[in-house]
Amino acid sequence: MQTKPYLTLADVKKIAVAAEAEAVANNWAVSIAIVDDGGHLLWQQRLDGANALSSHIAPAKARVSALGRRESKLYEDVINNGRVSFLTAPAPMADGMLEGGVPVIVDGHIIGAVGVSGVKSNEDAQIAKAGIAALN
């Protein structure tokens, strides 16, 4: 039987603190969600001033990234390049097919993902990546 790493509560808190710090440093009001490898929510926070919709989109981006085992940007690019059939994906997947979901990869294993929503998509991804970088 194989074994794999997983996100502990301490890991999740490190990611959350670093992601929040990146958002605050840039004065970005966002929601941040962290999920395990099955897309189950482990952490969510909505910074002051973040719009209400971002609290729904951030976990969806994280779920898409964890379950798809890649950044959610890939799906946005596929759709923007004309493969609109991806828009018919079942909910909640369709809600998260925007840049800003980034998988957490340890020793080649996808162990979860971070989703951020509230600013430009590339900035959402920047925040997620800053959070994940705290694990190293």
What is the pLDDT, as a whole number, of residue 117? 97
CA dist 61 and 97 (Å) reads 6
CA dist 67 and 19 (Å) reads 21
Mean pLDDT across 3-14: 96
10-35 pLDDT, tens digit per residue, is: 999 999 999 999 999 999 999 999 99
58-112 pLDDT, tens digit per residue, is: 999 999 999 999 999 998 888 888 888 877 777 666 677 889 999 999 999 999 9
Fold of 9-133: Beta-Lactamase (3.30.450)
For 45, residues 6+ apart whose C-beta sits below 8 A from its C-beta are 16, 20, 31, 32
Q: Per-residue pLDDT for 115 more than 80?
A: yes
For 54, residues 6+ apart whose C-beta sits below 8 A from its C-beta are 30, 31, 46, 117, 118
What is the pLDDT, as a whole number, of residue 85? 80
Say which amino acid occupies 49: G
What is the pLDDT, as a whole number, of residue 80? 85
Indicate the domain borders of the chain. 9-133
